[in-house]
Structure 1
């Protein structure tokens, strides 16, 4: 039960700590994560992937693993395969070594077994943001040239480094790191474009023609080598206390208004479900009015009824086809018949990644006339990258919007958690695109939403439902995402669906895939319980606070007049103790949502009872969420 509650699945891979001299890392399922020198993250991950012609990452299975771990070194070898369904496409052989000098080597050999169209096949290295953003780097190219560059602060579509044979950069404590690559031409991209908290150095430049057809017998041979080429005089060890609160520089920002999405293709909200959701006090309900769906008017009517029951404002997310003049007429007739009042209206195009200027020009005035006083938003239902190159006029739109999810590239638990920290970068880059304009982010979800595509729940598992939705991990991720968005000044945020596999409650209907989705009728998911916790804090101001290692935990500190609320999330599968010296509020009360209290709270739909608290430290159980409130 605990594993399902923690992460929504009983499947896991063993995690081993390895060391290469002064460097430490975690080894999991064939890949290296969190290569560190003391507390500095040297690289986030070294891995490989096979991606098809549509950029889907194929499943990976590891076999014949041999692991030798010494005090200052390691040697790992294995065989594995990349699979499309049950068909093995490439058979891989890998060897990972680390020695006492601080050198890590990852060699990879692959043999193609069946014909396949690929966009990428081979090694990738992820670079964390905290140790790279704004820092200079030097590239040595395969032809011997030296090129100086910088890890950009704002999100950029242009690759910051190209034609890499060697990439060298300096860590915060002046240690110089060198990454050498061989077997292909490598370059670096800014993954924040897709909501990832990293830069990625990868094989096969995107400027080359793709997809590429590979044949049986084709071979891939690549290698990356990571080493310290210049150590600082300062000897450092990793901080023993991982969950250490710090007070970063930054403004105190209002907590964004928080709304939910209408759950399409699910039964209408029932009375008891409305009662559960109203405890969370969503500010608005996002109603997706998609003219690409023949049943748009039916779901429009249902959404308006549900918003009224929830006492939530109406946010209309309207996706037009190229036949938007006729669709405007249909909308005017529906609004006249239903008597719609909207708080905000968002304009999107089903034929363009971002709202085209011509569409916004054509529909802005009629929409403002149809919904007097409503805010008008434009942008994209996709990730930030869809806004790159788009233009918006401030006199036609009141705010800019895009969506976020943490799984555009990889899907593991660590990936989900670490990518929440890119959400602040997304907001700041949106502000740079349209200065002095409010920023709305949403939908924010665990997986990319299949916007506008009717879901057939009678067939395959829907690609936008994540089995971690009813878990404590998802609740902690929500808290971290909200804290990141708040720190950058997002004005409004729309998170998950009201109910179902993408929702904050299960609803009274059973999960459609009970063997893969650990929930029962009537359950309120942990993320819904955290929303309940925040329901009384509308209008609060967030003070800057974070954990030294944000992958291990998230924190949100709210103040409202003389009241204080500190919410902490442990993202680790291990208990973590937090020193509360940075939160000097006593006396206080504590509410704990963890493996002990969550099962009952999920069934009753109410938060665990509070208890008096007057300690200077608190221990968080695995994946726990703890709220400290001024008494």
Structure 2
């Protein structure tokens, strides 16, 4: 038995079974490298659905060839919330073919009474081995019902009153997840661009918030039975989209940074060859004219059109005529109008129709539409009528439910399904994704948030956006948007604490956009490596010959094995704060493709042709 502070993910192994333990969570449960469970943990959600951070202590592990046992303690504290728990994770592997049993058991108690929206176990099912697959649901009353994990993102609950779920993850491997201590239900977390389905308790049908009483301990358990082994090793490339895919048209927001863009920053933005900039505004605001004056100068200097995010105080769209006239006087070039109404999760169809009349007059052919300032869940649950408007819009953030590095990368798998699902009800309308943020965007429409409630938490910059991790995530996100066919995407702010230009200059994410600038609409191939993701790549086909971009999506070394055509390539490796390209090196792809070792979060550009 050995004890250690919980500083980094710990690998746990027993025969063909492998998993990680980090921050009180069991992660990436795999059999022969095939992930069957993404995460098991016990989060504490406050009255505005914020996740209260936990501190892990007293971790102890006993391991053998056929199993392991891990114990730990957790403490969650923020504001009035103080909750402590003890957990036990046990795994055993036996038999031929092997059967693995993994049990996660937690007992917790409030130090003092507090209100919460949820305190209970959650199991995340990875989409790569669950989406679209049939399953059997055992309900709380003991009955059994056939079901199916959704392929497209389900607006409602796929499964309710759950005691157990079982399905074939891959041929030869069957997984059963059994729950104790509460009634559970399953939601499709891809509604929030998460890469998972989540089974949790207690169910949302119960009133929230509810009192967590120190006199009533919470005891829950999850037992995972895994039977069999996969017939072959997991594929290196888990998702691929061919050359018919086109890169989305890329832009950045200037809503928060319009007053921060001096001559040097404008010059840096010009280097990106953006397809648009986005400004969110209120047509009734006193500073409208001044904002449009500043925008006019910027758009002229960058020679780009503008995506307008228009926020109305009510369903009266008459104020849009003032905005239309003000934009026309400055000869600004709109590329799309995204209209929202304060307090409405999705723009009402009548407002979109009125906006098409008011704004469409001045710029025929420019799309006018609505959507949500929140997550895809709002749009998916309140689908606009066909034929109303020319676009659908929604935001993306990878930190709605979890904020750790692993979760950010896992949730790349949740982006493409939102676009693919939106296509099923878009009825020919364009899909405009944005803003795409890496920092946590509190859900403005979460149950309990708003008038009479605690209000959403404030937005805070995330330093990882300006790190190599942020650049790798950015390339991965753009690749997923391209794979699913998003028409446009607005990423980050131009400058400031939320921007790609910060106090130190261009960030690593700026470098990614500089590689892709001006390529909106260009044919590309998209490659995703591993599930959960460990790498992402684009092979872009502009007129001058293919360009390859690949990112290591891990915080450790990773070997890129990419089935590129045989031949010589010039390779540029990323530097954390590089602006000018480093000298390229020559690499070669053999009959089996290209093999290249990449450092943590490293990005490489590959041009075909070697050296003259």
Task: Give me the TM-score of the superposition, normalised by structure 1.
Answer: 0.87
Q: Does 1:568 align with 2:566?
A: no
Whole-angstrom CA distance in 1 between matches of 2:284 and 2:441: 15
Q: Does 1:133 align with 2:115?
A: no
Q: Does 1:59 align with 2:33?
A: no
Secondary structure of the 1:99 match is strand
Match of 1:444 in 2: 436
- Measure how far apart 1:283 and its partner are: 0.8
Give a deviation string over 1:335-388, Cα, whole Å, max 9, x none.
Answer: 355343322211111121111012112222011124444221221121111113
Secondary structure of the 1:165 match is strand
Q: Does the 8 Å contact 2:400/2:443 carry over to 1?
A: no
Match of 2:495 in 1: 499
Q: Which of 211, 214, 217 is equivalent to 2:212?
A: 214
- Measure how far apart 1:316 and its partner are: 0.8
Secondary structure of the 2:517 match is helix
Give a deviation string over 1:72-104, Cα, whole Å, max 9, x none.
Answer: 32211122211114x552111111111233111
Give a deviation string over 1:128-152, Cα, whole Å, max 9, x none.
Answer: 1010011111111222111111001
Whole-angstrom CA distance in 2 between matches of 1:12 and 1:565: 41
Q: Does 1:345 align with 2:337?
A: yes
Q: Does 1:313 align with 2:287?
A: no
Greater alpha carbon shift after TM alignment, 11-20 vs 131-140: 11-20
Q: Does 1:630 align with 2:608?
A: yes
Change (3 A) 1:158 1:336: closer
Whole-angstrom CA distance in 1 between matches of 2:423 and 2:140: 38
Match of 2:453 in 1: none
Q: Does the 8 Å contact 2:275/2:520 carry over to 1?
A: no
Whole-angstrom CA distance in 2 between matches of 1:629 and 1:608: 14
Q: Which of 474, 484, 490 is equivalent to 1:488?
A: 484
Greater alpha carbon shift after TM alignment, 390-399 vs 615-624: 390-399
Whole-angstrom CA distance in 2 between matches of 1:444 and 1:147: 38
Whole-angstrom CA distance in 1 between matches of 2:428 and 2:377: 21
Output aligned runs, 1:156-171, within 5 Å: 156-171=154-169
Match of 2:90 in 1: 97
Match of 2:149 in 1: 151
Change (3 A) 1:227 1:247: closer
Q: Does 1:231 align with 2:228?
A: yes
Secondary structure of the 1:347 match is strand
Q: Does 1:606 align with 2:588?
A: no
Match of 1:359 in 2: 351
Q: Does the 8 Å contact 1:343/1:373 carry over to 2?
A: no
Secondary structure of the 1:130 match is helix
Whole-angstrom CA distance in 2 between matches of 1:99 and 1:450: 40
- Measure how far apart 1:611 and its partner are: 2.8
Match of 1:282 in 2: 274
Q: Which of 449, 470, 474 is equivalent to 2:470?
A: 474
- Measure how far apart 1:482 and its partner are: 0.8
In structure 2, runs of 5+ residues without a counterpart are: 95-99, 445-456
Q: Does 1:583 align with 2:564?
A: yes
Q: Does the 8 Å contact 1:111/1:219 carry over to 2?
A: yes
Whole-angstrom CA distance in 1 between matches of 2:442 and 2:18: 39
Q: Does 1:76 align with 2:46?
A: no
Give a deviation string over 1:242-289, Cα, whole Å, max 9, x none.
Answer: 9x4467365621111111111416743101111111111111000111
Output aligned runs, 1:168-247, within 5 Å: 168-228=166-226, 230-231=227-228, 244-245=236-237
Greater alpha carbon shift after TM alignment, 536-545 vs 412-421: 536-545
Whole-angstrom CA distance in 2 between matches of 1:299 and 1:585: 53
Secondary structure of the 1:484 match is helix
- Measure how far apart 1:544 and its partner are: 4.0
Whole-angstrom CA distance in 1 between matches of 2:282 and 2:442: 12
Change (3 A) 1:391 1:146: closer
Taking only aligned residues, the RMSD between alpha carbons, in angstroms, comes to: 2.5
Whole-angstrom CA distance in 1 between matches of 2:410 and 2:105: 26
Secondary structure of the 1:79 match is strand
Secondary structure of the 2:222 match is strand
Q: Does the 8 Å contact 1:414/1:551 carry over to 2?
A: no
Q: Does the 8 Å contact 1:195/1:405 carry over to 2?
A: yes
Secondary structure of the 1:429 match is helix
> What is the number of residues matched between the two proteins?
585
Match of 1:50 in 2: 44
Greater alpha carbon shift after TM alignment, 544-553 vs 184-193: 544-553
In structure 1, runs of 5+ residues without a counterpart are: 1-10, 453-460, 507-520
Whole-angstrom CA distance in 1 between matches of 2:194 and 2:284: 29
Match of 1:418 in 2: 410
Match of 2:596 in 1: 618
Whole-angstrom CA distance in 1 between matches of 2:381 and 2:555: 41
Whole-angstrom CA distance in 2 between matches of 1:37 and 1:90: 33
Secondary structure of the 2:43 match is strand
Change (3 A) 1:385 1:160: same
Q: Does the 8 Å contact 1:533/1:607 carry over to 2?
A: no
- Measure how far apart 1:587 and its partner are: 2.4
